[in-house]
């Protein structure tokens, strides 16, 4: 079991080291957490934010894994079906990101409006 955790954490490290989008999503997650702490969101809002963050990071890691597998199977040559696989995996990340943004707006906009218009 310890070896499984090692490989999982190694995957996180590889994603952070090699993939710009993983780093972008992680920075966004830290910003969301900081904003949530500053605005003192309630427990239900934290649950929604955590699910949204987890969904985006999970789809980004799956997208990265799929991209590597497609590159291997395509022999690093262009294939239309390889492009479609990569594009649809990227679309999954985009959908997750849009939904996370919607959750963020639902949680943060009313609170920010209250803070700004006190």
CATH of the domain at 100: 1.10.287.3610
Which of 3, 18, 60, 67 is catalytic? The answer is: 60
pLDDT confidence band for 112 (50 / 70 / 90): very high
Q: Which domain holds residue 73?
A: 2-117
Q: If you write DSSP's letter for every residue of the chain in order, what string do you get? A: -HHHHHHHHHHHHHHHHH-HHHHHHHHHHHHHHHHHHHHT--HHHHHHHHHHHHHHHHHHHHHHHHHHHHHHHTTTS--HHHHHHHHHHHHHHHHHHHHHHHHHHHHHHHHHHHHHH-
The two tokens of residue 14 are 């590889």
Average pLDDT score, the chain: 96
pLDDT more than 90, % of the chain? 94
Whether 18 is a known active-site residue: answer no
Predicted local confidence at residue 118, as pLDDT: 73
C-alpha of 20 from chain center: 12
Q: pLDDT (tens digit, 9 = 90+) per residue, 15-72?
A: 999 999 999 999 999 999 999 999 999 999 999 999 999 999 999 999 999 999 999 9
How many independent structural domains does the chain possess? 1
Which pLDDT score, from 0 to 100, does residue 111 have?
Answer: 96
């Amino acid at each position: 079991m310890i070896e499984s955790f090692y490989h999982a954490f190694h995957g996180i490290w590889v994603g952070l080291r090699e993939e710009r989008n993983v780093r972008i999503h992680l920075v966004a997650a830290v910003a969301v957490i900081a904003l949530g702490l500053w605005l003192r969101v309630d427990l239900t809002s934290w649950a929604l934010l955590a699910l949204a963050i987890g969904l985006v990071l999970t789809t980004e890691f799956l997208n990265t894994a799929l991209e590597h597998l497609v590159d291997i199977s395509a022999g690093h040559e262009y294939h239309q079906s390889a492009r479609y696989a990569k594009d649809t995996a990227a679309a999954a990340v985009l959908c997750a990101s849009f939904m996370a943004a919607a959750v963020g707006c639902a949680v943060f906009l009313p609170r920010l409006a209250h803070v700004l218009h006190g």
